[in-house]
Structure 1
């Protein structure tokens, strides 16, 4: 079973990443999906998305949960029946799950040059320290996107915009951590952020500041 990476963030928080190598048939065979999950996966048009969906259920099993323990609210945010907080991501051949006693978010993205074209859609403050001529420009943009996507998943509040409400503090790729802020409706929230790169992908996750 290709559990790619397992990280103990702290005593209440863990991250697991799966490399999706199995076929659809191999992935679904050992799973006991509830009817709505089975219907959802069967209606997916892309086998890549199907395999991503199923690999997340394998990560749940690795945490000691089943598909029956997971449900989604009206905003599409996942929850666990025991009250622990969960966030889910999958991108191409990787998927990831973070589970904690506190609200959390996670995102995995493939590093692709096109992110430079759309940077103005999600970057504002960060342009103050980014260097568009740097060979690391694409990688740093991918970190910023992953951090902001993780914040969005954590907060799951309509009206939030990556460019206007989320801010990522300056960082070096070698730091593998930074701080992010949400400034929304006259309130400010501080989050600790960690990130790592692997096989042409970036993963970031966020947890509230103590």
Structure 2
């Protein structure tokens, strides 16, 4: 069953993760797409992206929604027709959807060494507590990236910088939660963060 994991984060928030094992054709047959979505998926050059897109529609069905229930605002932030908040992510052979009564954001990333090359582009304050020589340095960088990407999706405001405006409070090695802040112009937002690691991937989600 490609439904990999369901997480009931709290009474208002549910996360579902999908492991993408199906072919493009099998996924296409399993979902109903509105014309705009069909045009979009057929226009994708990468089958990996096509399968990620379609697996998200499979996850929507797990929540009781169809593609027709999903819309996007002017900043590209998804929303549901019934007013529930939603955030979407996919990376390689995993996808995830979070649905909540409150504003949320989610991200999945594959853990890869090359993240250390771009660390200076998205980390500032966090360097104060990171150890570049630690065996879990790449894991920590990936967690921080996922958290900041989740914050970006949650806030959905043009001009938000991972490095300048998003701060992740330190988490211990055996911890799967922390607090993060968005400090953007005159807006300050405190977010509760949960994250998990599986099969070489990291998933993090932010809840207001």
The two structures share one fold, judged by TM-score above 0.5? yes
Q: CA deviation at 1:4?
A: 0.2
The CA distance in 1 between the partners of 2:202 and 2:39, in whole Å, is 31
Q: What is residue 185 of structure 2 aligned with on the other side?
A: 185
The CA distance in 2 between the partners of 1:126 and 1:115, in whole Å, is 15
Which secondary structure does the structure 2 equivalent of 1:21 belong to?
A: coil
Structure 2: which 5+ runs fail to align? none
| Structure 1 residue ranges, 4+ long, deviating more than 3 angstroms after superposition | none
Q: CA deviation at 1:173?
A: 3.3
The CA distance in 2 between the partners of 1:169 and 1:205, in whole Å, is 14
- Does structure 1 residue 194 correspond to structure 2 residue 194? yes
Q: Which moved more, 1:184-193 or 1:128-137?
A: 184-193
- Does structure 1 residue 133 correspond to structure 2 residue 136? no
The CA distance in 2 between the partners of 1:194 and 1:12, in whole Å, is 14
Which secondary structure does the structure 2 equivalent of 1:71 belong to?
A: strand
Q: Report Cα offsets for 1:13-45 as digits up to 9, x if no partner.
A: 000000000000000102110000000000000
The CA distance in 2 between the partners of 1:174 and 1:60, in whole Å, is 32
Query: Counterparts in 2 of 1:54-93, with a 5 A limit?
Result: 54-93=54-93
The CA distance in 2 between the partners of 1:190 and 1:156, in whole Å, is 15
Q: CA deviation at 1:144?
A: 0.2
Which secondary structure does the structure 2 equivalent of 1:150 belong to?
A: helix
Query: Counterparts in 2 of 1:31-180, with a 5 A limit?
Result: 31-180=31-180
TM-score (norm 1): 0.98
Q: Report Cα offsets for 1:172-209 as digits up to 9, x if no partner.
A: 2320000000001132210000000000000000101x
The CA distance in 2 between the partners of 1:199 and 1:54, in whole Å, is 21
Structure 1: which 5+ runs fail to align? none
Q: Which moved more, 1:69-78 or 1:142-151?
A: 69-78
Q: CA deviation at 1:171?
A: 0.6
RMSD: 0.6
The CA distance in 2 between the partners of 1:30 and 1:80, in whole Å, is 20
TM-score (norm 2): 0.99
2:30 touches 2:58 (CA, 8 Å); kept in 1?
no
The CA distance in 1 between the partners of 2:112 and 2:36, in whole Å, is 34
Q: What is residue 23 of structure 1 aligned with on the other side?
A: 23
The CA distance in 2 between the partners of 1:174 and 1:78, in whole Å, is 33
